[in-house]
Amino acid sequence: MLKLSLFFCAGFFLLLTACSAPEKETANGEDVPWADASFVKPIFSTLTFSNQSDTTRPFNLYLPGYFVDVDLEVPDSLAPGSATSIEVSLYHPCNMTYVMGSHRSTRPVIPGRSRNVAYYADDQIVEEGAFAVEYAFLDAALMPINASGYAPVVTDLDSFRLAEEVSNRRHLDSLVRPAGLPEYVEPLLERVAAINPYYRALSIREFYKFFYKDTFLVTEEIVRAIDSVLTQPGYYQSGRYQELQTMFSAYLGEEGEGGGGEWNQPKKGSHSCRFS
């Protein structure tokens, strides 16, 4: 009964999120594979994972913001030569985080573009599906931006956000584009590179608040910028949109309750922290 109640609560929250989001359209009239998708009419994508190594590997799969816990729908481990598939219904690009053995990575999923990820070793993960070239480039472009790992020592969120923006831009500019990439790819990369610094900044702030009871100053510049991003329809076509919206809503709620309160007090110290 508790699981059923939680399921309906999660579904209701996602419905409210979808209804409060900008109209389903893309920036600059882009032609995208998911143009006809919506919250009530999603597009299906199949995610397949295979273990091509000679050792049984533990396996976990997460789709942040998805209406069901997909990790409950896949096996806990994959034996050598085995595979598992799950069909997901999407109406905008999202991120999947999967763990295979000691390998953990966050990779994009495009509505209508199924993925087939083969694990050979921690340093050899190969996309082998029909959209292999497309996803291989998206992985190379977005995995460093979406990476999990140890953050540098952070003294303020504004400096960190600006450094992230510069790093994202340099990374994208350094990539060699393969021939024949769909038109949606470049605008998607631009949106992810722009929205992720705000997501990562609020993630770091959440980490410090939870584990160290320390907080960073959230400046008016950051607040205005996030509010602007969340109200532009184009950014809705980003895997981090709903996650940023959720964290920002929590920030605004706590600010309203305490007139700024802990959320806008300077940080007490500095720590190295792990975040995603």
Which pTM value belongs to this model? 0.78
Going from N- to C-terminal start, the domains of the chain cover 1-29+144-276, 31-143
Q: What is the pLDDT along the chain (276 residues), one digit of tens a residue?
A: 444 444 444 454 444 444 444 434 444 456 788 988 888 999 999 999 999 999 999 999 999 888 889 999 999 999 999 999 999 999 999 999 999 988 898 999 999 999 999 999 887 999 999 999 999 999 999 999 887 666 566 778 888 899 999 999 999 999 999 998 999 999 999 999 999 999 988 888 888 787 777 777 888 889 999 999 999 888 888 888 888 998 899 888 876 644 444 434 444 333 333 333
Number of other CB atoms surrounding residue 153 within 10 Å:
9
Among the CATH numbers 1.20.1280, 3.40.50, 2.60.40, 2.40.10, which is that of 31-143?
2.60.40
| Residues 110, 187: Cα–Cα separation, whole Å | 13
